[in-house]
């Protein structure tokens, strides 16, 4: 699973995910892309599961770009621990995803295969997505 090699701070604030993505909101590398329609938190496990589903369906044909990286730490306190005694230890990594953020891009496969692969990958994600083409928006998943 993806995680950063080194971070400036071990623990971060929770923060809020609001607004529309100003960056990474267009198809830049491939022919088709999977774009988020809702905001949410994407864990490294969910990202890896959707990547595996995507690459297995296209049978390693074409090229896949992952446009998100889980670089935000999430902490968790142990079960049945009393209140206080500071913030918990690092549990997992997430990537905050705004509305309109492109998650995956694909190139070198027919449109039908790309649609099927993106549908499989989208079923592993915690928010709604849609498939976009380099030129125009196609349809919603």
Taking only the tens place, the pLDDT of each residue in 11-59 is 999 999 999 999 999 999 999 999 999 999 999 999 999 999 999 999 9
* Separation of alpha carbons 37 and 16, rounded Å: 17
The pLDDT value given to residue 139: 47
Tokens linked to 133 = 């083409």
Supply the Cα-derived Rg of the chain in whole angstroms: 17
Which secondary-structure segment (H or E) carries 118? helix 111-122
Q: Determine the straight-line distance between the first and last CA of the chain, rounded to whole angstroms.
A: 25
- Name the pTM for this structure: 0.90
C-alpha angle 34/35/41, rounded to 5°?
110
Q: Which residue is listed with tokens 């309109």?
A: 100
pLDDT band (50, 70, 90) for residue 136: low
pLDDT band (50, 70, 90) for residue 1: confident
């Amino acid at each position: 699973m993806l995680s950063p090699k080194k971070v400036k701070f071990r623990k971060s604030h929770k923060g809020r995910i609001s607004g529309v993505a100003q960056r990474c909101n267009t198809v830049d590398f491939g022919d088709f892309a999977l774009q988020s329609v809702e905001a949410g938190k994407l864990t490294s496990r969910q990202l890896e599961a959707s990547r595996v589903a995507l690459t297995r369906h296209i049978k390693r044909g074409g090229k896949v770009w992952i446009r998100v990286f889980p670089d935000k730490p999430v902490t968790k306190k142990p079960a049945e621990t009393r209140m206080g005694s500071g913030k918990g230890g690092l549990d997992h990594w997430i990537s905050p995803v705004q509305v309109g953020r492109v998650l995956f891009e694909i190139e070198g496969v027919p449109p039908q295969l790309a649609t099927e692969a993106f549908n499989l990958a989208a079923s592993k994600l915690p928010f709604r997505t849609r498939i976009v083409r380099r030129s125009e928006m196609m349809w919603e998943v």
